[in-house]
């Protein structure tokens, strides 16, 4: 584990496990790199080098007032990959992290990357607009902002239920998984978490994903209550030139926990294939 310092003085925390082809993870909102531990342990145990960072404003990274937007997130990720001289990498992004990966590829290209995976990811655009009528209305995101301002601790506790599908009949999500979600969320700084809502909801990533020209695995659950599949994976998989779409029936947003074994196997097969 270590840190790098970006051009604006922000410290970015990262963990670097194993050896072999590098796999670079980007986490969702409002979590941190620990959300990927199950996947990092599994893949590192299969001969891969796994790198995950805490996005600025989240986890153990600095909590600057500025730069909480997808372009800066992508630039931070680029700085990390350059500092570690990562080459021939597979990038994996979940939710907002999928947007971070898309913006990185659109902005910095694929000179260091050979494959990508977008998991329960936000591209191309979450917000409902005239050009994106299937998106979510702004009132949904205003509600998230209001929830943070009113009582962010309680908001995160309640958000864990739809995040992992714990509000569905027959759910087997453990209290431990939900508690971990709350703990990671509470480590995010208030400013970073709040400002990131605008970043993940209002950033149009259409042109970024159209530029992706490497094999890309798009994984999404068809019961995702956070990033509905119809206006995300089903669209992005058509816009990406070399995309493979895998839909997990009944899976929620946090499928890396609820469908861990299936997901880990799919990732390993994609990376080595």
Per-residue model confidence as pLDDT tens digits over 185-198: 999 999 999 999 99
Q: Is 95 tagged catalytic?
A: yes
Domain with 225, as residue range(s), is: 2-272
Instruction: Give the CATH number for residue 39.
Output: 3.40.50.1820
Determine contact, residues 252/159, Cβ cutoff 8 Å.
Answer: no
Is the confidence at residue 55, as pLDDT, over 90? yes
With 0.95 as the threshold, say if the pTM is over it. Answer: yes
Count of structural domains within the chain: 1
Give the Cα separation of 42 and 261 in Å (integer). 10
Phi, psi (deg, nearest 5) at residue 166: -70, -10
- Which residue in the list 27, 94, 253, 259 is annotated as catalytic? 253
Per DSSP bridges, beta strands 113-119 and 216-221 are parallel
Q: Is 171 tagged catalytic?
A: no
Per-residue model confidence as pLDDT tens digits over 64-120: 999 999 999 999 999 999 999 999 999 999 999 999 999 999 999 999 999 999 999
Total count of residues recorded for the chain: 273
- Which residue in the list 26, 61, 62, 95 is annotated as catalytic? 95
Q: Is 253 tagged catalytic?
A: yes
């Amino acid at each position: 584990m270590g840190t790098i310092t970006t051009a604006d003085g922000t410290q970015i925390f990262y963990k670097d496990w194993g050896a072999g082809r590098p796999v670079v993870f980007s986490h969702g909102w409002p979590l941190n790199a620990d959300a990927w531990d199950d996947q990092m342990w599994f893949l590192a145990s299969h001969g891969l080098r796994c790198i995950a960072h805490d996005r600025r404003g989240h986890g153990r990274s600095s909590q600057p007032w500025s730069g909480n937007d997808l372009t800066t997130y992508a630039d931070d990720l680029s700085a990390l990959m350059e500092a570690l001289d990562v080459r021939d990498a597979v990038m994996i992004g979940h939710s907002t992290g999928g947007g971070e990966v898309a913006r990185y590829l659109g902005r910095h290209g694929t000179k260091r990357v050979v494959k990508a995976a977008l998991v329960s990811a936000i591209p191309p655009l979450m917000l409902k607009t005239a050009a994106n009528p299937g998106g979510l209305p702004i009132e949904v995101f205003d509600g998230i902002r209001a929830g943070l301002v009113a009582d962010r601790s309680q908001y995160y506790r309640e958000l864990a239920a739809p995040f992992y599908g714990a509000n569905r009949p027959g759910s087997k999500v453990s209290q431990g998984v939900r508690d971990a979600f709350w703990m990671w969320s509470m480590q995010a700084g208030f400013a970073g978490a709040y400002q990131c809502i605008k970043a993940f909801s209002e950033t149009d990533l259409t042109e970024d994903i159209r530029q992706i020209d490497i094999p890309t695995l798009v994984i999404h659950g068809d019961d995702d209550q956070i990033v509905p599949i119809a206006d995300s994976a089903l669209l992005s998989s058509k816009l990406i030139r070399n995309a493979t779409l895998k839909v997990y029936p009944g899976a929620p947003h946090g499928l890396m926990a609820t469908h861990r074994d299936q997901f880990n196997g799919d990732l390993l097969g994609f990376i080595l294939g």
